[in-house]
Structure 1
Amino acid sequence: MAKEERLKAYKKAFGENLKKIRAEKLKTLSKVDSTTKFDSSNYHKYEIGTGNPTLETIVSIATGLGIHPKELLDFDFDLKKIDIHK
């Protein structure tokens, strides 16, 4: 798997986890926007796996969702398959 494909797969898994957490918190995109100061198009990019959030963004999203940032990165993914340095 090429580096770009592995990173794309990881971002997709992150986005699926983000969307799941938002749904569990019963928050709409507009509600998350108002607490994180992101517009819905940027936030939506993270959920569909096309955005590449910074650490600052991850902390801001977590704060808006009322969770610890580590929860956003707590999803199953085989890191052996995503060695981004290859």
Structure 2
Amino acid sequence: MATETNLVGYKIAFGKNLRKLREERIRTLSGVDRKTRFDSSNYHKYEIGIGNPTLETIIRIASALEIHPKELLNFEFELNIDELHK
């Protein structure tokens, strides 16, 4: 099972990538409201690394950004494999 440190780091890295992609395509958080049909404050949680989006949410965000969902997960992240097995 992933350690809390790995999970927090991953969510932060995901959020940075999400923000970069969103700024390239939608620009504003209010634009997210219109395209995803969920509150920008909830979406903002994903961008700052405190939200934990479901697969359904990832697909909805990718659709709104007009990208493949795998682009949301395409970022560098250092994973400590040894920590996963403790």
Q: TM-score range by the shorter chain?
A: 0.7 to 0.9
Gaps of 5+ in 2: none
- 1:24 and 1:40 map into 2 onto residues whose CA distance is 17
- Whether 2:27 is the aligned partner of 1:22: answer no
Q: TM-score, normalised by structure 1?
A: 0.88
- 2:33 and 2:85 map into 1 onto residues whose CA distance is 33
- Structure 1 residue 27: Cα displacement: 2.5
Aligned to 2:11: 11
Q: TM-score, normalised by structure 2?
A: 0.88
- CA root-mean-square deviation: 1.7
- Following superposition, which runs of at least 4 residues in structure 1 exceed 6 angstroms of deviation? none
Gaps of 5+ in 1: none
Aligned pairs, number: 84
* Aligned-pair identity (%): 65
